[in-house]
Structure formats: C-alpha cells, structure tokens
Amino acid sequence: MTDRYAVLGNPIGHSKSPLIHSLFAQATGQDIGYTAIETPLDGFDETVLGFRAGGGRGLNVSLPFKLQAFQIATQPSERARLAGAANCLKFEGESILADNFDGVGLVNDLQRNLGCPIKGKRVLLLGAGGATRGAILPLAGQAPALLAVANRTADKAHELRRDFAGHAALQTGGYDDLTGQTFDIVINATSAGLSGDALPLPPGLFAPGAVAYDMVYGKGLTPFLRQARAAGVSTVADGVGMLVEQAAEAFAWWRGVRPETPPVIQQLTVPLA
C-alpha cells in the first residue's frame, strides 16, 4: 500500500519537494506518494488533521506555516522547540511529532557537498528570523571558533543570544558591529535574496578563502552573493543543497533509509551567474 506524504505551504506551486521526494523514493525503492497542498492561511490545523485522518503519514511544512507546525505538535524535538518552528511532521497514532531539519540541511551541505568544515571557523549568520533560529544549534554543534548573528535591528539578534543561552554561545549585534571583524563562513538567512536588496555589510567582512552562502535557491547570483564576489570571495553557494539535504533528513526520519543527495542536487542546481 502506498504511503502518503505532502508538503504544505502558501503559495506552494514553486515547491521542488514533490520532485525531490519522488527521486528519493525511486532511488531507495520506497512506495510513497507525495503531493503539494496549497493550504489556506487560516486553515493549517484543519489541513494537517484532515491529512492525518485520511491516512497520511507525514508532512513537510513550508512558509508561512513553520510556527504553526511547531504549535500543533504533541512531541516537538529539542531543536524545533528552541527554534520555535518546525518544517517536518510525522504521525504516530494520535501523536504528532515535529522536527526542524533546515539547520541540519545547511550543515550537511556546507560540510559534505561544499567541503567546508565548520569546526574552528568564524561563522556569521545574517538575519535573526526563523531561518537563523533553525540554523543556530546545528552550527553550534560543529564547534565553530565563533558563531555570530547580525541583524538590521540589533535587539532581535540579542534576543537570540538570550533564548539560546546554555545551548549555544552567540555573539550578537547589528551590521555596524561587524566593522573590523572577518569571518570564514558568512550565511545570508535574510529575505534579501528574494527582495533584491543589498545588505549594509562593512568592507573587509570576508576572510581570505571565505565561503559565502545564501539560503535562497534557484535565483542565480543574489545581491548578497554579488557582494561577496565583488569582495573577492571565490566560493559562493545558494541554498539548493540545503533544500535537498533537509529533505533527505525528513525522508530518513519517515522511512528509515537515507537517500543519496548529490544526484538530486546536481539535477536542481541553477548556475550562479
């Protein structure tokens, strides 16, 4: 019997998740059906519970429902709890398990696919929203020399330092506070890649041999990646690898087998030009 899964979002027509999970299922011999469901903005809970009642086994959750996915869970993981958001649900009887694989996907893409170890590096996250929240624990778990968060509104960055106290040591502040500092890995977790806005980054931010990573995918060279290139950074990447890697974590959580990711990443990659 085919097991049913889906991704929820609004809008959702752009989602690559059905293709990704179809490729994973073919590669691993898993009998699953996977669809995209455009969910009414005021109908998330009803959609989740209806999908479960119809025999659904699990859900990926896209924007703008990641906070609600955490709230509906009866058993959230620790990283979902600290992030305050979930991007994956699993149904076991009456229980709704929730996890957040975004940060794990980021770490796996950096280290496995880009050959960029995090241990001992100076790492900077730009932005203080949900994407950053999901990335903090997985990045901190790799023992960077420094993990910093900078945001246009410094107070929002400082909130993260308080929220993650005891779990991750963070340097936080505004973009102006970055003046005179250099970083080995700089990750854009803001929406600037979608809006087309350049970030007010000080000169000299990128260390020699630095990696610049934008969580946005499929947009070519975003304004952030253009800034990095202009600063002499040769290794730039968008978030397509993160997308595929977090999907692989969800697939493994649901099915008990982890698919190979490089062939899928290669198929979905858009040249950065």
Q: 80 to each of 6, 23, 66, 101, 171, how far by Cα in Å?
A: 19, 27, 10, 9, 22
Distance CA 99, CA 60 (A): 10
Of 98, 44, 92, 46, the closest CA to residue 76 belongs to 98
Of 49, 124, 128, 129, the closest CA to residue 89 belongs to 49
Exposure letters 74-99 (e unless 16+ CB within 10 A, then b):
eebbebbebbbbbbbbbbeeeebbbb
Catalytic residues: 66
Q: Which contacts (CB < 8 Å, 24+ apart) does range 20-25 have?
A: 20/243, 20/244, 20/247, 20/264, 20/268, 21/247, 21/251, 23/259, 23/263, 23/264, 23/267, 24/247, 24/248, 24/251, 24/259, 24/264
Q: Do the Cβ atoms of 190 and 182 come closer than 8 Å?
A: no
Q: Are strands 122-126 and 95-99 parallel, antiparallel or unpaired?
A: unpaired
Distance CA 262, CA 83 (A): 27
Distance CA 194, CA 190 (A): 9
Q: What does the DSSP 8-state code read for residue 196?
A: T
